[in-house]
């Protein structure tokens, strides 16, 4: 297993990837072919929350990615969702609306039937053959990789990045590819399950989810949420003297 070290990847000829090449016919050095580095953060995003954005930003900065795409699952064969695919895509777009380095990929939502990562990665690879793909997943998802369909195909199409948190156990190495990257991120105690419950119960959710997501959920009455709670603010200044 590999830890991210910032060391440039080597080409088959032993030179760093992205280094200048020498044209065999002219003898002159040519400009490097700069491939884009794109992160793919998959999930149901039911709803998307700040934990998702922290993972995306840590991956972008610490792995030197040009962009991170939230890959919204359509009909994930291993997990059930609460809201429709279109609603989850809309929330994901609201979550990244203010960040030029984040975007939403809805191809799995548009695909009919169960979605498999191997199919998604193969499709993106065919569309963008010169793009370096980095597939980002959490420890819980990594622990279940042995049950994924055609997981070896997925491993061959992208570099897998397993997000870990301080003092958390590392997934079993036997189910991970040799070149997996482990990325440690800050500990954030927030989950989509808890957020759905908070929306239902009318409890505070702002700053646990992006403001745009909070407004979208409440304005559309998703998860049983009401529209009023997002604007409630009590001024307690001066009450204690």
- CATH classification at residue 81: 3.40.50.620
Q: Where in the sequence is the domain holding 76, given as residue range(s)? A: 34-189
Domain tally, the chain:
1
Position 222 in a domain:
no
- DSSP line for 116-159: -HHHHHHHHHHH-TTPEEEEEEEHHHHHTGGGSTTHHHHHHHSE
Position 90 in a domain:
yes
Position 160 in a domain:
yes
Position 201 in a domain:
no
- DSSP line for 177-196: -TT-EEEE-------HHHHH
- Report the length, in residues, of the chain: 241
Position 45 in a domain:
yes
Position 182 in a domain:
yes
Burial of 101 (0-12, 13-18, 19+ CB in 10 A): middle
Confidence (pLDDT) at 139: 83
Element (H, E) at 2: strand 2-3
Position 57 in a domain:
yes
Position 204 in a domain:
no
Encoded tokens for 6 = 């910032």
pLDDT tens track, the chain, 241 positions: 444 444 444 344 433 344 333 344 445 444 445 589 999 999 999 999 999 999 999 999 999 999 999 999 987 666 678 899 999 999 999 999 999 999 999 999 998 878 889 999 999 999 999 999 999 998 888 878 888 889 999 999 999 999 987 666 666 666 677 778 889 888 888 889 999 999 999 999 999 999 999 999 999 999 988 765 444 433 333 444 3
- Sorted by sequence, the CB contacts under 8 Å of residue 235 that are 6+ apart come out as none
3-class SS shares of the chain: helix, strand, coil, % to 5: 35, 20, 45
Bridge-partner residues for 44, per DSSP?
A: none
- Sorted by sequence, the CB contacts under 8 Å of residue 127 that are 6+ apart come out as none
Confidence (pLDDT) at 199: 94
């Amino acid at each position: 297993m590999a830890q991210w070290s910032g060391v440039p990847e080597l080409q088959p000829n032993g030179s760093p990837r992205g280094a200048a090449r020498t044209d065999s016919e002219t003898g002159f050095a040519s400009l490097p072919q700069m491939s884009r580095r794109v992160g793919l953060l998959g999930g149901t995003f039911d709803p998307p929350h700040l934990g998702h954005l922290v993972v995306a930003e840590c991956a972008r900065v610490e792995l030197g990615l040009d962009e991170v795409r939230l890959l919204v699952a359509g009909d994930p064969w291993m997990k059930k969702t609460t809201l429709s695919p279109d609603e989850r895509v809309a929330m994901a777009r609201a979550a990244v609306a203010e960040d030029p380095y984040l975007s939403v990929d809805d191809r799995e939502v548009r695909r009919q039937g169960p979605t498999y990562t191997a199919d998604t990665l193969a499709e993106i690879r065919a569309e963008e053959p010169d793009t370096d793909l980095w597939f980002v997943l959490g420890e819980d998802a990594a622990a279940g990789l042995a049950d994924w369909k055609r997981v070896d195909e997925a491993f061959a199409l992208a570099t897998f990045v397993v997000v870990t948190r301080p003092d958390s156990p590392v997934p079993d190495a036997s189910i991970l590819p040799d070149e997996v990257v482990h990325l440690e991120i800050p500990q954030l105690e927030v989950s989509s399950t808890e957020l759905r419950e908070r929306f239902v119960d009318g409890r505070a959710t702002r700053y646990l989810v992006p403001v745009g997501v909070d407004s979208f959920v409440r304005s559309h009455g998703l998860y049983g949420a009401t529209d009023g709670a997002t604007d409630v603010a009590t001024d307690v200044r001066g009450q204690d003297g």
